[in-house]
Structure 1
Amino acid sequence: MPSNARSSDVSCLEMLRSILRVDGDKNYELVEIFLDFENAVPSAEEQQLYYIAEAVLQRGEDLIKDVTDYEMGGYSIRNSVRDDSDAEKVKEALPKLLPFIKRTIEYYEQKRRIEQLVPDLLWELTSGPLPLEEQLQSRQAIARQFARLIGFVFEFDSIRMARAQITNDFSVYRRWRNIVTNRVKDDETCVPEGINIAEFQMFLGEMNPMLNALRHGIELFVEKHSSMPIQNTTDSLVTLINVCRFMLTSEMSLVRLSPATRIFSTRVLVGLVILYDHIAAEGAFCSKTPVDLRDVVRLLKLHTESPTVIFTILF
């Protein structure tokens, strides 16, 4: 983690207090740009990265369906073995549990793809050479893909929160594998080479694994471009936040947004606040914050029918 990224998040209560402390008369300018999150088409300069991101996003759509269908996972298989000391029953049940483990490995691989993709997207959005607002306008398609990535993160994690069996399945899988080691083929039981088992277990235990991947991706970006002032990145995030605020406030923008895109835009807004909070030295929830937190909360309440999950992640 870069030195300017805080090692722990402040509590929900502290965050809410910080919002109340922020000067209500402070001027937070909207950035009057409309980013077409639905239909932006890549320019010739954007195409290569755009389609790399598209492949990650398409895989993400498949994984949303998969994690939705996971539900009870291998519960019935685990429940069929009443006594782990019965090695024969364990040996019989282990291959039946393996398909669920392979599914979780796919989730983990998506996490790694996000961590690799985020630095490239941010580079295009923050490195210039144009002023920030002009840079965003010239990289509409890249901004669209970055926004869609944030949207995927929220959708996946909101489903993952209700899938405790993912963690339970792998825990039992490892225990059973230890019982029948040398009794089944390695290729039937091992996670793929190149996967750090400790990191994989940590991933499975996280409530917001894809959000953490997004955070790690921005850390990697800052580390990779250490010669670039951190303010380039934080200013870019604030600009994007104020673009989203404009799109969700301006009547001229709102008429161009479908109800689904309005909800999507609120998720993007929250994701940007979280990323800013993660890398800004004092975070987003301080008295001098350049982020209009009151307005963010107002927009969430206005445009999200059930903001509970988003509030949970934000606070």
Structure 2
Amino acid sequence: MGNLLNLLSDRPVNPKYDVFLDFENAKPTESEQIVHGQVAEVLKRAREIEEKLKCYQGAGEPIRQAISNPKSEDLQMNAWQVVCPLVAQLKEFYEYSLQLERVLVLLLDALTTSDMTPVQHLEMQQALVKQFAEILHFTLTFDDLKMTIPSIQNDFSYYRRTMTRIQIERDGSEISDAGVSTEMANRMSLFYASPTPMLKTLSDVTSKFVTEHGDLQFENTTECLGTMATLCKLMVENPEYRERLGSEQSQLFCLRVMVGVIILYDHVHPAGAFARKAAVDVRSSIKVLKDHPHQSNVEGLLNALRYSTKHLNDEATSKEIKARLNQT
């Protein structure tokens, strides 16, 4: 997915930043090797996690049977035996989010903390930028899928209720049928309560990162995020760049990254992404999504902007932007 990217330090576009960022073939430089290797170790499981989530069937019928027949020990046991492997899988997804947390901090640190400007980081550390984009792409893909599987919440709620009952019957002893302790279950419950749990995880981590690293780090990080959002928009918006992208899959990759970066920016910057002077052009980003020929492929991205951003409903947010985004 070799792309000619106009990287800009501020709007309007500054033509002197004319950089070829090769998402498909970018290789780590010597200085990127250590971080790149650690991130790659985590990212290599992204497709596996995504496929497991796609195949998640849920325990709806066994749970309904068990609830409808509370005195049937056989039905209670069957529902428990069906739901435990599913909860073990949900635990796996949650633990993967913790791994993404860890490597995202590594990437943020590498891409924003040095004597280089944010634009120079994006130009000189293309392999790490690619990994950052891949994390965002996976995150939104995962959350899109999760929002179409209501049985996740139902299964986990049933598991917690049953676990509590069994613990009472065992005088408070922990159970390990799904390898989930009470403490782990509490943390998982908070994770899956969010409509976009992976994106919330990344937003929280990014906010914490800039809070802990002071004003200079805040400026570098928000400028980096703003620049990435703009360049991804340009890749799909500009006919020449869109032709270079080629397939619709590559265009969707850019759109997912664009939305992910906008949301991160909105959570990190006090004024948010919808402010008039924000480093991201939300209005034209929404237009790019709305103009996509296959709306079913981007509806999840529009929902992410509607429900995962922090400042959309602020009084300062343009009524036009609110109306445009909420228009179906």
Decide: shared fold, TM above 0.5: yes
Tell me the distance in 1 between the aligned counterparts of 2:212 and 2:71.
50
Tell me the distance in 1 between the aligned counterparts of 2:92 and 2:282.
36
Tell me the distance in 2 between the aligned counterparts of 1:265 and 1:217.
22
Tell me the distance in 1 between the aligned counterparts of 2:264 and 2:271.
13
Structural mapping, 1:157-236, within 5 Å? 157-181=143-167, 186-192=175-181, 195-226=183-214, 228-236=216-224
Partner of 1:239: 227
- How has the CA–CA distance of structure 1 residues 222 and 104 changed in structure 2, closer, same or farther, with 3 Å as cutoff? same
Residues 105 and 205, structure 2, Cα contact 8 Å, conserved in 1 = yes
Segments of 5+ residues of structure 2 without an aligned counterpart are 1-9, 307-328
Structural mapping, 1:93-132, within 5 Å? 93-132=79-118
Instruction: Please state if 1:283 is matched with 2:272.
Output: yes
Q: Give the structure-2-normalised TM-score.
A: 0.80
- Higher mean alpha-carbon deviation, 283-292 vs 87-96, is at 87-96
Identity %: 29
Which of residues 73, 76, 80 is equivalent to 2:61? 76
Residues 91 and 180, structure 1, Cα contact 8 Å, conserved in 2 = no
Residues 133 and 257, structure 2, Cα contact 8 Å, conserved in 1 = yes
How far apart are 1:179 and its partner, in Å?
A: 3.0
Secondary structure at the residue paired with 1:187?
coil
Structural mapping, 1:18-167, within 5 Å? 28-29=12-13, 32-71=18-57, 73-81=58-66, 82-87=68-73, 89-167=75-153
Residues 33 and 246, structure 1, Cα contact 8 Å, conserved in 2 = no
Residues 90 and 176, structure 1, Cα contact 8 Å, conserved in 2 = no
Tell me the distance in 1 between the aligned counterparts of 2:126 and 2:292.
23
Residues 53 and 146, structure 2, Cα contact 8 Å, conserved in 1 = yes
- How has the CA–CA distance of structure 1 residues 257 and 217 changed in structure 2, closer, same or farther, with 3 Å as cutoff? same
- How has the CA–CA distance of structure 1 residues 27 and 143 changed in structure 2, closer, same or farther, with 3 Å as cutoff? closer
Residues 227 and 280, structure 2, Cα contact 8 Å, conserved in 1 = no
- How has the CA–CA distance of structure 1 residues 249 and 189 changed in structure 2, closer, same or farther, with 3 Å as cutoff? closer
Residues 56 and 114, structure 1, Cα contact 8 Å, conserved in 2 = yes
- How has the CA–CA distance of structure 1 residues 132 and 229 changed in structure 2, closer, same or farther, with 3 Å as cutoff? closer
Tell me the distance in 2 between the aligned counterparts of 1:304 and 1:278.
29
- Higher mean alpha-carbon deviation, 82-91 vs 60-69, is at 82-91
Aligned residue pairs, count: 288
Residues 284 and 290, structure 1, Cα contact 8 Å, conserved in 2 = yes
Tell me the distance in 1 between the aligned counterparts of 2:184 and 2:166.
22
Residues 94 and 177, structure 1, Cα contact 8 Å, conserved in 2 = no
Tell me the distance in 2 between the aligned counterparts of 1:234 and 1:227.
11
2:193 partner amino acid: G
Partner of 2:310: none
2:166 partner amino acid: V
How far apart are 1:242 and its partner, in Å?
A: 2.6
Residues 90 and 180, structure 1, Cα contact 8 Å, conserved in 2 = no
1:78 partner amino acid: I
How far apart are 1:249 and its partner, in Å?
A: 4.2
How far apart are 1:153 and its partner, in Å?
A: 0.8
Q: Give the structure-1-normalised TM-score.
A: 0.83
- Higher mean alpha-carbon deviation, 60-69 vs 76-85, is at 76-85
Residues 263 and 304, structure 1, Cα contact 8 Å, conserved in 2 = no
How far apart are 1:135 and its partner, in Å?
A: 1.7
Secondary structure at the residue paired with 1:284?
coil
1:239 partner amino acid: T
Partner of 2:259: 270
Tell me the distance in 1 between the aligned counterparts of 2:107 and 2:46.
17
Residues 34 and 247, structure 1, Cα contact 8 Å, conserved in 2 = no
- Higher mean alpha-carbon deviation, 44-53 vs 278-287, is at 44-53
Partner of 1:295: 284
- How has the CA–CA distance of structure 1 residues 85 and 276 changed in structure 2, closer, same or farther, with 3 Å as cutoff? same
Partner of 2:299: 308
Tell me the distance in 1 between the aligned counterparts of 2:70 and 2:99.
36
How far apart are 1:56 and its partner, in Å?
A: 2.0
Tell me the distance in 1 between the aligned counterparts of 2:157 and 2:139.
24
